[in-house]
Amino acid sequence: MIDIKFLRENPDVVKQNIKNKFQNDKLPLVDEVIELDKQARAAQQEADTLRANKNAIAKQIGALMAQGKKEEAEEVKKQVAETSARLKELEALEPELKEKVKKIMMIIPNIIDPSVPIGKDDSENVEVQKYGEPVVPDFEIPYHTEIMERLNGIDLDSARKVAGNGFYYLMGDVARLHSAILSYARDFMINKGFTYCIPPYMIRSAVVDGVMSFAEMEGMMYKIEGEDLYLIGTSEHSMIGKFIDTILDEKDLPYTYTSFSPCFRKEKGAHGIEERGVYRIHQFEKQEMIVVCKPEESMEWFKKLYMNTVEFFRSLDVPIRTLECCSGDLADLKCKSVDVEAWSPRQKKYFEVGSCSNLTDAQARRLRIRVKDEKGNKYTARFVLVEAEGTAIINDWEFIAELEHTENGNIITGVAGVEVPERYYTSKPMCEHCNSKRYRKNTYIVRNKTTGEFKQVGKSCLKDFTHGMSAEAVTQYMSLFDTLIEGETPEPGCSYQRYVNTKEYLSYVAETIRHFGYTRSSDEGISTAIRALDFYDAAHGRAVTKEYLQDLLDKMRSVNFDIDSDLTVKLVSDALAWVSEQEENSNYIHNLKTACSLEYVKGNFGLYASLFPAYDRDLERTAKRKAVLDIEQSSEYVGEISDRITVKVQSVKCVTSWETDFGVTHIYKIIGADGNVYTWKTGKYIDDTVDEMSITGTVKAHTEFRGIKQTELTRCRVAA
């Protein structure tokens, strides 16, 4: 069931969704439920108003009687009676209207995911991927019941006498094989971290209404006569019902269960010979996976569970394929669904053995299952119900960065302006999409454009997030190196597939900067990174041509290029010591720290070259902070309270700002030419780039902050 608020605000979206599911007969329901909802809210509002008025009027009666105004009191009593009569009508009308709204909302289908293919029925489902080679042997394969009969493993005749068609007795080794497969499935899921559960095999009608549509129920469920109980068609029904009318704590999510149960289904309709025997029967057993999770995690769990299912079938060496269910084949409560089909060498085709569905909040809304977050806010839970899951291009994701995994951490080369979360600084080279763990030299970071969620994926899985584009194409297209400090990017020619000693290369960088200055690749001319690498190659007898080698050597001699000078050795040592002590508060610092900890350089030469400018800037900032602190420590109070004073400004800095109903408010810290500290809270903007400035203001207070005396000003005027 979708949210009534969503339907009110987006009726056209709901109608289009109905059309996409080829259920045009339900289109009038949208306008009908909007009108009923309007009436229900109007009735509720009128009733609330009448209740408030009734209470207010009732208080008047006692006051009027005390004053002896009996006639006026009688008139007021008539008003109360009229109000009560109307209120009685509304109190009867409210639940009636709400029930009508609920019934219609239960019929309107859930909003399907944008990635779902549009089609009328299962004939238009889309094949996603095959696993394993479908093989047809040279010999004739017997019908499955014939194989079991040869092993004395099935008795259909006795089952017909006892229960009718659609039932069987499993016997001997076949029965043992049946139990063994179920045990294997159970332990497989437990080993994946799921909690094993055996649920009730009967559920009440309130749960049935919550987990499935009326049309599905009629075609599936067995009703226990004389009782409010139904036999479950799948363990999913009672597992979801477990949470009815509950408020879950967000910190406990996700709930991950693997449940076993017998399943009872009517299985109406005629079927061919291949679907008789132990197929399309009224009673069977099933192992399922059910997840209750946060809304933003539902598609992620959808993928994880699919991979579990694929792994399960392939562990038995069963060739399978996945089919994405089209819009017309989706049950009303499903947002997205994928079927898993196994290859039948006898039938020479695939047939369904499992299914996976993301129900979003449809079932949770029907069953009044909510989640409370750490702030006390409540929202509707989400269910992912899985026997299997499929792969499709995943929308709303964007490529963010490439991770190079080294022995000392990961080097991040990513899209400009996007900081990758710290957990990826030292993450192992695993794929969070398919959950596979193996050695990879590189992985990739993607981000959901809607939720902001980050995910680390392998090379193969990256295509799912980039509409089939390869990792090589994406990394080339996305200007990966833009996050390096102030546009520092390695030149394309720097990607040598050989190793250079880190400390030695940094010595060449330091000498290059000392003699030629620092040049970024974004600047005109040869960047420092390339020039230092050229000099390194020249010193080791390598260059593109002999002429170029000689030219490099001549340049080095002309400037007395000496990487072993005391100045260079100390600079490299100090810069490496500085970066090793830095807190990893940005991707750039993390990358620089990780890169400088490696013994050898293979690439990212621009990153190494940026070490010395970054070190110099930090020394400069530290010196400025110390100078300012020295001044502040000697600050004294200026003037008396209410005095009007003029301050010649040495420096001014906005220390904080915040939004108010009247605009933005700033607090400025001013250091005067007299060496004293002043503060001013104002809505005005001060241009701190002005060379000469004076501020005239009234002394409001003398305060102290962290041991520094400050004179607080108000009603100031700035003169530049």
Q: What is the pLDDT of residue 316?
A: 85
Residue of 710, 692, 287, 357 lying closest to 718 (CA atoms): 692
Share in percent of the chain as helix, strand, coil (round to 5) = 40, 25, 35
Task: Indicate the average pLDDT of the chain.
Answer: 83
pLDDT at res. 523: 62
Q: What is the pLDDT of residue 409?
A: 85
Which secondary structure element, helix H or strand E, spans residue 473, and what is its range? helix 471-477
Taking Cα atoms as reference points, which of 339, 338, 358 lies closest to residue 293? Answer: 358
Q: What is d(CA 251, CA 270) in angstroms, rounded to the nearest whole number?
A: 48
State the pLDDT at residue 75.
Answer: 78
pLDDT value for 481: 36
- At 487 the pLDDT is 36
pLDDT digit string, tens, across residues 648-670:
998 888 888 887 766 788 899 99
pLDDT at residue number 417: 61
Exposure of 545 in the CB half-sphere (CA atoms within 13 A): 3
Residue 477 confidence (pLDDT) above 60: no
pLDDT in tens, 206-216: 999 888 876 66
Q: Is the pLDDT of residue 232 over 80?
A: yes
Instruction: Band the pLDDT of 574: cuts 50, 70, 90.
Output: very high
Is residue 372's pLDDT more than 60? yes
Which of 293-302, 403-412, 566-575 is the most confident on average?
566-575
User: What pairs with residue 229 in β-bridges?
Assistant: 224
Distance between CA atoms of 298 and 254, rounded to whole angstroms?
Answer: 10
C-alpha dist (Å) from residue 526 to 146, 488, 491, 536 = 79, 13, 9, 15
CA distance 312 to 306: 10
pLDDT in tens, 146-204: 888 889 999 989 999 999 888 899 999 999 999 998 998 999 899 899 999 999 999 99
* For the chain, percent of residues with pLDDT exceeding 90: 28
Q: pLDDT for 287-338, tens place per residue?
A: 899 999 888 888 888 888 877 888 888 888 889 898 999 999 998 989 999 8
Residues 483-523 have pLDDT tens digits of 333 333 333 333 334 568 889 999 999 999 999 888 876 56
Q: What is the pLDDT of residues 115-140, one digit of tens each?
A: 899 999 888 999 988 888 888 888 88
Mapped onto helix, strand or coil, the DSSP state of residue 712 is strand
Query: What pTM was computed for the model?
Result: 0.51
